[in-house]
Amino acid sequence: MAPRPLSKIDHLLLGVDKALRAVVPNSNPSTRPLPVSSDDIPELTITEARHVAGLMRINHTGEVCAQGLYHGQAFTAKDEGVKQAMQHSAEEEVDHLVWCETRLNELGSHPSVFTPLWYGMSFGLGAVAGAISNEFSLGFVAETEAQVSEHLQDHIKQLPEHDQRSKEILAQMDLEELHHRELALTSGGAALPPPVRQTMRWMANRMKATAYHL
């Protein structure tokens, strides 16, 4: 017997479930193990651990924002193919979310207390981008992933020399973020106007400054 088509209520409940999993810590199963070469947990000083936790909290917040962005774009996407692509990208990014949560737990720290706010703001931005056009929406993804890659590479440089564990996690995330960027561009993403890119960068910097501490 073929499964019945999902109703509007079913889709709504699935959307709510995805949103909750994005903002509630440790609520997602990872489909892949941590991308690390050793199970050894590096020993860090108190100062080093606090700094690494701040960086990982920023990266976790970035992944929460990615979930909100993709979910919002899928919600308003005009093309079914683009909608499915956004949903698929969000699913791939779940592993990044779990990896950051795992490292935060190892450091005895926690995600940003503003996680629901970050998700909500990103969902709104994604919904607006998706409503404008497919090309703009995909271009928004490409620019977002490019900026995420920049701060991942900067964080890798800031990590303590002996924290190979965090470095390997962020390096793998960076590779996959750049892959998502290329997919968005090859799928028809348009270059965004400079004022839009600058506004995105300003907002990202405000988020990073807040999430590092809170």
Q: Taking a C-beta distance cutoff of 8 angstroms, is the pair 26, 101 a contact?
A: yes
| Phi, psi for residue 113 in degrees, rounded to 5 | -70, -15
- DSSP 8-state code for residue 162: T
d(CA 71, CA 90): 7
92 assigned ligand-binding residue = no
Using DSSP, state whether 206 is helix, strand or coil.
Answer: helix
| 176 annotated as ligand-binding | no
User: Is 180 a known ligand-binding residue?
Assistant: yes
Q: Specify whether the CB–CB gap between 32 and 38 falls below 8 A.
A: no
Contact 63, 115 (CB under 8 A): no
**The token pair that represents 145 in the structure block:** 């992933």
Is 96 annotated among the ligand-binding residues? yes
Q: How many CA atoms lie within 13 A of 139 on its CB side?
A: 16
Our measurement of the distance from residue 204's CA atom to the centroid of its chain's CA atoms, rounded to an integer in Å, reads 12
Closest to 105 (Cα-Cα) out of 168, 165, 187: 165
| Cβ partners under 8 Å of residue 177, min gap 6 | 145, 148, 149, 152
| Residue 63 assigned as binding residue | yes
Annotated binding site: 63, 93, 96, 145, 177, 180
Binding residues for Fe cation: 63, 93, 96, 145, 177, 180
